[in-house]
Structure 1
Amino acid sequence: MNKIFNPLRRLHFYAAFFITPLLLTLSLTGIGYLFYTNVENNIYHHEFFSDSDTKGHQSLDDAVQEIKEVYKGYEIQKISIMDEPYNNRVTIGNDDGESRYIFLDEHNQRVANQNAQYTYANVLRETHSSLMVGGSFVNYLVELAACWTIFMIISGVYLTFKSKALKKTNKKTSFLFNRRVHAILGLIIAIPIFVIVLTGLPWSAFMGKQINQFAEDHPKLGYSALKSNPPQSEDNELPWATRNKEKPTSKKDPHAEHHGASNSLIGAEGQQSIENIIVQAENKNIKKPFSIVYPADDKGVFTVSKSSNTGVTGLDVAPKEETTAYFDQYSGKLLDQVDYEDYGIVGKWFSFGIPLHEGHLFGTANKVINLLVCLTFIGGIVFGFLSWMRRKNAGSFGAPPQMKGRVPIGLIAFLIVLGIIMPLFGASLIIVAIVEYFIWRKNKKKV
């Protein structure tokens, strides 16, 4: 047993030691994000529910044109048509990557505007996924922490059953108590944490691309429209399975004169009004809430979508209600529609998995369960830290000793399999092996 137990315990310790700060950050921001709808309903009550001081009614299309005139340099990215009692929301953005939300009351008058970057939900989400820093390195670092968490779950369960951590003893020491509690908490949350990590991987920088590519290459298991990159631009409220689906094109009226195109083609001659597109969508049984994206050019289409993972308070729907519909911008005719039933198994799994991860798949119960899992996970980290502090001698690092002799082939095979499944984990293992080799060489010279 020691040939596998010792090196696995050493790897488990190093994983816990180096990624604990990041795991605590992910857990705490995850807890904050669980309740973002509750928080935003209170702190943004004016934006979400109040009426404008401006009296009178105007059409939604007039409101959009007014926003274009008031916010020079910004383009209309999408319009979120909300169900009562929420105000509709117009998302605008400029070439510098800045986005704002413009809220409209029932008379389509402007109530307020927000800087999208600094809303509660977006700050928590950006901190959780990229530590508010962004960039590939940080995204890979967060994904690496998730991969090592999976390793810690598997190795922790093995170490718990192979050690005497769960056995009662007559010895009453703080070390044994902390180790026992650490082991018990680890077993309690092993499966829930595994599910939470697994359902978060579709958004990861590296494995997310691999999952999308696999789904695209295997239509029977996935969905041919799944692509490799998570949403980053104007379609970031589309369902996960159709965010990069190639959109059909409108049939341009040969008798109409269309004069060029902008980034968002709004109010072009012969184009349907946004209010008419709403009517067409509702006639096709697409009920509020949903988002509308304007055509990008004179061949583009109106894209109407309902998603279970929008990240917008009041806009999420149940996974089976997901749909993405494309309407001809000149005739208003429905050209194509992709519903939840059209997804492959991967698309369906993540349509459920992402809201499960975010805590809104089955209402308040989902939030409470995720909260308890996160708190238990943090508790396990704390008791693991206390156990280490009680075990290590003063002036020493307290890491489990290196195993003497060769590492068992079974352990090597296990790590290789995990490294193939999680390439970032595999790459980091190579670095660990190099470091361990130099530590071994150094210790050997001292003998």
Structure 2
Amino acid sequence: MSTETNGAALPKAVARHAQASDLYRAVWRWHFYAGLLILPFMITLSVTGAIYLFKDEVDRFVHAGFMQIDPVATHRLAPSEIIAAALSAQPGRAIKYTDPADDTLSTEVTVQPDSGGRMAVYVNQYTGAVLEARPDRSTFSWTLRYLHSFRYFGATPRMMIEIVGGWSILLVLTGIWLWWPRGRREGVLSVRGPVRRRVFWRDSHAVTGIFTAGFIVFLAVTGMPWSSVWGAKVNEWANGSNFGYPAGLRTEVPMSDEHLDHIAKTSWSLEQARIPQTAAPAPGMTPIGLDAAVDSFTRLGLHRGFSVALPQTATGVYSGSVYPDDLSQQRVVHLDQYSGRPLIDMSYGDYGPLGRWLEFGINTHMGQSFGLLNQILLLLACLGIVFLAVSAAVMWWKRRPSGRLGVPPLPSDRKVFCGLFAILGIGGVIFPLTGASLVVMVLLDWIWQKTRPALAPSV
């Protein structure tokens, strides 16, 4: 009887083993494709992101010549005098005044010349000396930020943010499945073999991946708000149709067609926020002026380092905004340019639940929520991601057949792809551009399978 039982159990065990092997091959194949598609981008994002975590420190070192000054406790020029000094060196129209975050930093004035792009003029607020005039947002940190977000290359390449984010989540999920011990002890949390052997790189890749998996998913999700499709749509959901402001905020004032993001650095939640308008002035009314506006923003308690966008028309407003590392101090205040009355005053606490969650994620993504600890943890995560890319390349190089790409083998039973593609499809619906790229990859894989036998004889 036991012989018959064992004889019946053997085919079932073989079948289960074959199914497990087929599923492993299917997951491995798509883990390979995900890495092939995005690892170069992840290296770029990791390197630029790791440096950007220390943007303030790097900027003050690289641009010390015009950012760092010696404070004079007894004398500081008025904002209007600082702007006059900036315009004497760079003729044009002053459009923004940025109060220094501390006394050892210079004051930045943004000027629109009669022709050409905006210029950033740095002025010593104690002596009135103009220290530098350069294109606006051309500092090291701004260049790095544009490289990291792909904005440096225009609107279309920014779509890669969403594609890379979605595929990196896929990379993590398939990687965890491949790492899962399944009764193994070696190579799970330890590394075997010497450096020259492939098993060393396989184990190093797997162990590093399991420790960085959570960070990769977090960075992918919190980086999504900067994507041009998913990010823009979620921004609309977060703020509804309240002129780009969080739902419930009082906005019963005339609105212009200008957006806050066009005139000053702003938070993600307020990129689409529209600038209010001052009512048409009565005869004889005169603007309060920048000096009074800055005094008002100071009395209202805006955190140091706030920017003031100057009104450019008779119905414009003074827009004060600040986004320090402390989220609770984020704030935007728009003042009537004639009466000085606040038209809209909002802070982080006024965001909706989705907006607050996303802003916290973005703030942490940029290394600003928990000080040095936040920076160090994400720096280690970025280094881990770079190592994952390097170790994946080494593994591929060591296992690839001569003259071939080395794509992991197809499962014998193609039905195992059904469940995998169903899961991938759900992710594709959540992240549309990732879904579109997934369809392209499926088609390319199908073409590869169809054409490979015809190419085999010549290989």
For the aligned pair, the TM-score class normalised by the smaller chain equals: 0.7 to 0.9
Residue 167 of structure 1 deviates from its aligned partner by 3.5
Aligned to 1:262: none
Aligned to 1:310: none
Residue 251 of structure 1 deviates from its aligned partner by 3.1
Residue 415 of structure 1 deviates from its aligned partner by 0.9
Aligned to 1:260: none
Equivalent of 2:103 in 69, 81, 84: 84
Deviates more, 1:347-356 or 1:93-102: 93-102
Residue 239 of structure 1 deviates from its aligned partner by 2.9
Equivalent of 1:295 in 308, 311, 315: 311
Residue 111 of structure 1 deviates from its aligned partner by 2.9
| Counterpart contact for 2:325–2:369, Cα < 8 Å | no
Residue 210 of structure 1 deviates from its aligned partner by 1.8
| Counterpart contact for 2:110–2:118, Cα < 8 Å | no
Residue 439 of structure 1 deviates from its aligned partner by 2.0
Aligned to 1:406: 415
Q: TM-score, normalised by structure 2?
A: 0.82
Structure 2: how far apart are the matches of 1:239 and 1:372? 26
Change over 3 Å in CA distance of 1:225–1:402 after alignment to 2:
farther
Say if 2:276 is the partner of 1:248.
yes
Equivalent of 1:436 in 425, 428, 445: 445
Aligned-partner residue type, residue 244 of structure 1: Q
Gaps of 5+ in 2: 1-19, 250-257
Aligned to 1:360: 368
Gaps of 5+ in 1: 258-269, 308-315
| Counterpart contact for 1:306–1:317, Cα < 8 Å | no
Change over 3 Å in CA distance of 1:406–1:444 after alignment to 2:
farther
Cα deviation digits, residues 139-195 of structure 1 (max 9, x gap): 112432222111101111112117788635999582222111111111000011211
Structure 1: how far apart are the matches of 2:330 and 2:261? 19
Tell which structure's C-alpha radius of gyration is larger.
2
Structure 2: how far apart are the matches of 1:33 and 1:57? 32
User: Does the residue aligned with 2:283 lie in a helix, a strand or coil?
Assistant: coil
Structure 1: how far apart are the matches of 2:353 and 2:43? 32
Equivalent of 1:345 in 349, 353, 377: 353
Aligned to 1:210: 233
User: Does the residue aligned with 1:90 lie in a helix, a strand or coil?
Assistant: strand
Aligned residue pairs: how many? 418
Aligned-partner residue type, residue 204 of structure 2: V
Residue 277 of structure 1 deviates from its aligned partner by 0.9
Structure 1: how far apart are the matches of 2:271 and 2:448? 48
User: Does the residue aligned with 2:219 lie in a helix, a strand or coil?
Assistant: helix
Moved over 4 A (4+): 162-166, 168-173, 229-232, 443-447
Aligned to 2:38: 19
Residue 16 of structure 1 deviates from its aligned partner by 0.9
Change over 3 Å in CA distance of 1:127–1:88 after alignment to 2:
same
Residue 282 of structure 1 deviates from its aligned partner by 1.8
Aligned to 2:200: 177
| Counterpart contact for 1:79–1:293, Cα < 8 Å | yes
Structure 1: how far apart are the matches of 2:76 and 2:156? 49
Aligned to 2:49: 30
Q: Give the 5 Å matches for 1:240-319.
A: 240-256=268-284, 270-307=286-323, 316-319=324-327
| Counterpart contact for 1:166–1:180, Cα < 8 Å | no
User: Does the residue aligned with 1:304 lie in a helix, a strand or coil?
Assistant: strand
| Counterpart contact for 1:76–1:91, Cα < 8 Å | yes
Aligned-partner residue type, residue 97 of structure 1: G
Q: What is the alpha-carbon root mean square deviation over aligned residues?
A: 3.0
Structure 1: how far apart are the matches of 2:421 and 2:66? 56
Aligned to 1:311: none
Residue 428 of structure 1 deviates from its aligned partner by 0.7
Aligned-partner residue type, residue 302 of structure 1: Y
Structure 2: how far apart are the matches of 1:171 and 1:276? 69
Aligned-partner residue type, residue 176 of structure 1: V
Identity of aligned residues (%): 24
Q: TM-score, normalised by structure 1?
A: 0.84
User: Does the residue aligned with 2:370 lie in a helix, a strand or coil?
Assistant: coil
Structure 1: how far apart are the matches of 2:38 and 2:259? 24
Q: Give the 5 Å matches for 1:57-206.
A: 58-72=77-91, 74-82=92-100, 83-94=102-113, 96-130=116-150, 132=152, 134-161=153-180, 167-168=186-187, 172=193, 174-206=197-229
Change over 3 Å in CA distance of 1:317–1:408 after alignment to 2:
closer
Residue 244 of structure 1 deviates from its aligned partner by 2.6
Aligned-partner residue type, residue 296 of structure 2: Q
| Counterpart contact for 1:59–1:108, Cα < 8 Å | no
Change over 3 Å in CA distance of 1:400–1:26 after alignment to 2:
same
Structure 2: how far apart are the matches of 1:252 and 1:274? 19
Say if 2:20 is the partner of 1:4.
no
